[in-house]
Amino acid sequence: RRGDFLMAVSTSGASPAYAARLRRALEKAIPENIDDILAALREARRVLQEDAAFDDLDFSARGELLKRIVADDALLERCARAFREGALTGLLGEMLGHRAR
């Protein structure tokens, strides 16, 4: 567990050693700044749902943008940085071609 991120691996008792091996392998894929990334994604989701600047987006368009973000490590890092700097709404608008509001 790292903050809001929780990962569980089980073999239902068949091989705890193998489950531990898999867990160690998977942990290597988890970024050190997972908390920052999840906070940025939570805020991006909230902004896209609630901010009047994005009222023109339907459910599908919001989902597609969030999928685009999570599919690209560099974009995830940009979002985390923008969140820390208070610029996430602007970045989301830029990604969608909205003018800054």
Find the helix packing angle between 88-96 and 34-50, rounded to 10°.
60
pTM of the full predicted structure? 0.82
H helix intervals, 1-101: 16-27, 34-50, 59-70, 73-84, 88-96
pLDDT digits (tens, 9 = 90+) for 12-23: 999 999 999 999
User: Which pLDDT value is given to residue 18?
Assistant: 97
CB atoms within 10 A of CB 9: 15
pLDDT digits (tens, 9 = 90+) for 39-71: 999 999 999 999 998 998 899 999 999 999 999
User: Which pLDDT value is given to residue 100?
Assistant: 46
Q: What tokens were used for 96?
A: 């969608």
User: Which pLDDT value is given to residue 62?
Assistant: 93
